[in-house]
Amino acid sequence: MKRTIWALLTILIAVSLTLPACGPVPATPTPTGPVKIAFWHSMGAGLGGKGMEELVKRFNESQKNIIVEATFQGSYDDSLNKLKAGLQSGDVPAVVQLFDIASRLMIDLDVVVPMQNFIDKEKYVISDFETNVLAYYTVGNKLYSMPFNTSNPMLYYNKDLFKAAGLDPNKPPRTFDEVRDYARKLTKKDASGKVTQYGIAIAAYGWFFEQFLAVSGGEYVNNSNGRDARATKATFNSPQGVKVLEWWKGMYDEGICANFGRKTADTQKAFDAQQTAMFIDSTAVLRSRLDASKGKFELGTGFLPRPTEEDYKKFGTIIGGASNWILKARPEREQKAAWEFIKFMSSPESQAYWHTMSGYYPIRKSAYDLPLDKEWRAQFPQFQTAIDQLHLAPNNRVTQGGLIGVFPQARQTIEAAIEEVLLGKAAPKEALDKAAASVTDAIDNYNKTVPAKK
């Protein structure tokens, strides 16, 4: 499997080198009429998909020169795989939405036109954009893609169950110790000792480990998370990483933390059914959780817990979600049209609408001041949590997140390590050391196969 991955990357870089290095492919002959551009995205049939469809519709109706044809491509992994295939066949869109962890690979393959090119040429003002959000997609002082759906992880909790357990429903736990103490009080068992209600549930999802590591002050890889220079070694097996898994494992062994598997949707369902009083998940599922809890219980949200209260002053969460990329294999006419579409999607009005539809927070500060967003947050204050958490986080190499070309593979490796620990097959340090060695090997193979973007 590993050889197949690297063989594919070798093909991809060879293909990328055949693409024009100094500009877009010219259209022959130059077409007339509206410019049609393809947009590949990964927002499915839920609220995110409906919101995406509406925004594309609004853009197409706002002017007559550009027609965006949006196509759902499946998950982020599916979309990336289809793009890889398209780079070989020549079938690529003008704009593609990809998850955050595809950034290093997209930059190294040299198949995109950096957003910085359009920003500099137009003197487009970006001072209104959230600093920490732009920082993730900025490498070497150059913004490569435009953030769109942006999130961070939060603590979700059932206020009614808090009240029943004698806990203050307006004071969610903030530290690891507090989470454990709250979970003990919130866990219920029947006469036979079987757990009927867990205090907390955490999906075995690699992104959650990355976030817990970040709020603990730990870096995922060396060379300042791969941002001062290309990463060469995984470092998530640090004392901070080990402490995260020890805390997680301790609660699991005590029977107060549930493991419903890797799929976050399964943990969401358990929370909706009140099988767990607390769980960790992205801000992106907030709107869905509000809908699911309506008429059943009151939903609360809190900051992602961290080891100590002092950590709130020094560290913070990493942004998650996805961004939009412009492919340089498309004609210049399409690239310019793509830029206009991306500006529309990034506008305060579009971002305010997107925020209320999903829970992804706006990438523009001024979006919060629009009546739609202000009224929505007044009605549903749970949405304010993610915004406050974003603004609380400092902008540094930890909160900017790790940058490696094999991140999807690394995330799966971490998930396997979490499962080994929870099932008692390996101690936290042992599992993380093995995972770090595997990821380091993958990074080394990647660095040898895919030249760094100059």
What's the pLDDT tens digit per position in 93-126?
A: 999 999 999 999 999 999 999 999 999 999 999 9
**What is the average pLDDT across 226-233?**
96
pLDDT in tens, 122-148: 999 999 999 999 999 999 999 999 999
318: DSSP letter: P
User: What is the structure's pLDDT at 17?
Assistant: 37
User: What is the structure's pLDDT at 354?
Assistant: 95
Three-state DSSP state, 201: strand
pLDDT at residue 345 tops 90: yes
pTM of the model: 0.92
pLDDT at residue 206 tops 80: yes
Structure confidence at residue 454 as a pLDDT band (50, 70, 90) = low
| CATH, domain 2-151+320-392, list 3.65.10.10, 3.40.190.10, 3.40.50.300, 3.40.50.720 | 3.40.190.10
Q: Mean pLDDT of all residues in the chain? A: 93
Contacts 24+ apart (CB under 8 A), 15-20: 15/87, 15/88, 16/87, 16/109, 16/110, 16/111, 17/110, 19/110, 19/111, 19/328, 19/329, 20/328
Question: What are phi and psi for residue 13, nearest 5 degrees?
Answer: -70, -30
| CATH, domain 153-317+404-449, list 1.10.287.130, 3.40.190.10, 3.20.20.70, 3.40.50.150 | 3.40.190.10
Amino acid 1 reads M
Structure confidence at residue 13 as a pLDDT band (50, 70, 90) = very low
pLDDT in tens, 299-320: 999 999 999 999 999 999 999 9
Between these two residues, 18 and 236, which has the higher pLDDT value? 236
What is the Cα–Cα distance from 305 to 156, expressed in whole angstroms?
Answer: 11
What is the Cα–Cα distance from 316 to 323, expressed in whole angstroms?
Answer: 21
User: What is the structure's pLDDT at 48?
Assistant: 87
User: Which stretch of 12-21, 139-148, 218-227 has the lowest confidence by average pLDDT?
Assistant: 12-21
Between these two residues, 116 and 454, which has the higher pLDDT value? 116
Q: How many residues does the chain have?
A: 454
What is the Cα–Cα distance from 220 to 439, expressed in whole angstroms?
Answer: 11
Structural tokens at position 39:
């947009």
For the chain, state the CA radius of gyration: 22
Amino acid 301 reads T
pLDDT at residue 337 tops 80: yes
Number of Cβ within 10 Å of residue 273's Cβ equals 10
User: What is the structure's pLDDT at 3?
Assistant: 41
Neighbour-count burial of 114, counting CB atoms closer than 10 A to its CB (0-12 exposed, 13-18 middle, 19+ buried): buried
pLDDT at residue 215 tops 90: yes
User: What is the structure's pLDDT at 39?
Assistant: 98
**What is the average pLDDT across 324-338?**
97
**What is the average pLDDT across 424-441?**
98
pLDDT at residue 288 tops 90: yes
pLDDT at residue 287 tops 80: yes
Structure confidence at residue 5 as a pLDDT band (50, 70, 90) = very low
What is the Cα–Cα distance from 288 to 236, expressed in whole angstroms?
Answer: 32
pLDDT at residue 428 tops 90: yes
Topology alike, domains 2-151+320-392 and 153-317+404-449? yes
What is the Cα–Cα distance from 335 to 116, expressed in whole angstroms?
Answer: 13
pLDDT in tens, 368-398: 999 999 999 999 999 999 999 999 999 999 9
User: What is the structure's pLDDT at 31?
Assistant: 67
Task: Name every residue whose Cβ is closer than 8 Å to that of residue 42 and which is 6 or more positions away in sequence.
Answer: 72, 73, 74, 75, 76, 78, 79, 97, 98, 99, 322
What is the Cα–Cα distance from 371 to 367, expressed in whole angstroms?
Answer: 9
Nearest to 258 by CA among 274, 241, 237, 236: 274
Structure confidence at residue 24 as a pLDDT band (50, 70, 90) = very low
Structural contact between residues 148 and 343, judged by C-beta atoms closer than 8 angstroms: no
Phi-psi region of 92 (alpha: psi -120 to 50; beta: other; left: phi over 0): beta
User: What is the structure's pLDDT at 406?
Assistant: 97
What are the extents of the domains in the chain? 2-151+320-392, 153-317+404-449
User: What is the structure's pLDDT at 10?
Assistant: 45
